[in-house]
Amino acid sequence: MTMPKIDKTYNILFIYVLIIFISACQSSPTVNPRERKAIQYSEKLPVIDGIIDAEWEKVAWNPIDQYWVGKKPSKNDFQGQYKVMWNEEGLFVLAKITDDILVDNNRNPLKRYWDDDCLEIFVDEDGSRGNHQFNHNAFAYHIALDQKIVDIGTDSKPHLYPNNVNSTMVELGNNEYLWEVRLNMYKDTYRDGMTNAPIKLTANQDFGFAIAYCDNDTSEERENFIGSSVVEGEDKNRGWIDAGVFGRYTLVK
């Protein structure tokens, strides 16, 4: 049986179409690893006292395990997990941190606060992402060991924000600490030095959120910075500038 001859033009056309198909597959956007998470509603406002109330027992733990700065520390040096829930009055965060050495070298809360051990919470109220380095499109609250709250203002300088965040830290033993935090939520029209009314949260609201821990043991600078959300690329320390690297969350009721 004689096989029919295949026209060379057909071969060339087939190869051309195949190359286009492969190229299209390779250039297709990858799935965003920061998939949206649901934040549960709390009927009762938790007391910010470092005690795990009954409402917290209903919420699952999430890991703080993304290494944004430094190398992966040992489990004795650092472990972290967190919970989040909401009420109309604000956002509530519970973090359990293992840290074998607590460092607070910089007594001035506005100087090199990121080089001391601290909890950092990033929040983008309307989920708009984008730059927030010197504006309040989003907030990056540094919560120091003495519970002073610092972020950068619109004048490009660090400021204390005691009215925005209420927090406490208690020692559980075996180098384990429990942080409990309430955050008032604000629109991006927030103005430093003015009276700003927090918004009331509502179900189905989308927003950006991430939590991280600055860990320093023996250095002048922090040795590790470990966060909750996946940050792609070489430069993973972008949360203080770019709200686009925050995790994506929705309030559910």
DSSP string, 188-225: TT--TTS--PPPPP-TT-EEEEEEEEEE-SSSSS-SEE
The verdict on residue 23 lying in a domain is no
Q: What angle do CA 145, 239, 114 make, to 5 degrees?
A: 30
Mean pLDDT of 231-239: 95
What is the pLDDT of the chain when averaged over all its residues? Answer: 89
Mean pLDDT of 126-152: 97
The verdict on residue 12 lying in a domain is no
Pairing of strands 247-251, 37-41: parallel
- How does pLDDT run across 23-56, given as a tens digit for each residue? 434 433 333 445 789 999 999 999 999 999 999 9
Q: What is the pLDDT of residue 36?
A: 85
Q: What is the pLDDT of residue 7?
A: 54
Q: What is the pLDDT of residue 82?
A: 98
The verdict on residue 18 lying in a domain is no
Count how many domains the chain has.
1
pTM: 0.86
Does the structure show a pLDDT above 60 at 2? no
The verdict on residue 102 lying in a domain is yes
Q: Out of 9-23, 51-65, 90-104, 129-143, which region has the weakest mean confidence (pLDDT)?
A: 9-23
> Rounded to an integer, what distance in angstroms lies between the CA atom of residue 215 and that of residue 64?
12
> Rounded to an integer, what distance in angstroms lies between the CA atom of residue 41 and that of residue 12?
60
Does the structure show a pLDDT above 50 at 181? yes
Mean pLDDT of 112-138: 97
Q: What is the pLDDT of residue 21?
A: 40
Q: What angle do CA 45, 48, 53 make, to 5 degrees?
A: 60
Tokens in use for 139? 């907030």
Tokens in use for 212? 């991280």
CATH assignment at residue 181: 2.60.40.1190
Range of the domain at 92: 34-251
